[in-house]
Amino acid sequence: MKKRVLLSASIIIVVLAVDQLAKILVKTRMHLYEHIDIASWFQIFFTENHGMAFGMDFVGTLFLTLFRLLAVGLFVWILFAQIKRCAPLGLIACLALIIAGALGNIVDNTLYGLIFTASSPMSEPAQLVAFGQGYGSLFEGRVVDMLYFPLFEWPTWMPLVGGSTFFGAVFNVADSAISVGAVALAVFYHRHFFSRQ
Considering only residues 192 and 141, tell me which one the structure prediction assigns the higher pLDDT.
141
Tell me what the mean pLDDT of segment 159-170 comes to.
82
Active site residues: 145, 175
Is the pLDDT reported for residue 90 higher than 80?
Answer: yes
CA 169 centroid distance within chain: 12
Is the pLDDT reported for residue 109 higher than 60?
Answer: yes
Q: What is the pTM for the complete model shown?
A: 0.87
| pLDDT band at residue 195 using 50, 70 and 90 as cut-offs | low
How many alpha carbons lie under 13 Å from residue 159 in its C-beta half-sphere? 0
Question: Residues 149, 41: contact at Cβ < 8 Å?
Answer: yes
- What's the pLDDT at 194? 64
Q: Which of 74, 38, 1 is nearest to 146 (CA)?
A: 38
pLDDT digits (tens, 9 = 90+) for 23-76: 999 999 999 999 999 998 999 999 998 755 544 555 566 777 788 889 999 999
% of the chain with per-residue pLDDT over 70: 92
Considering only residues 68 and 143, tell me which one the structure prediction assigns the higher pLDDT.
143
List, in sequence order, the alpha helices (H) in the chain: 2-29, 61-84, 89-107, 113-115, 173-188
- As a whole number, the mean pLDDT across the chain is 89
Q: Which of 19, 175, 178, 11 is nearest to 98 (CA)?
A: 178
Q: Say how far apart CA 38 and CA 118 lie, in whole Å.
A: 26
Is the pLDDT reported for residue 115 higher than 60?
Answer: yes
Tell me the range of 10-24, 59-73, 138-152 where mean pLDDT is highest: 10-24
- What's the pLDDT at 118? 95
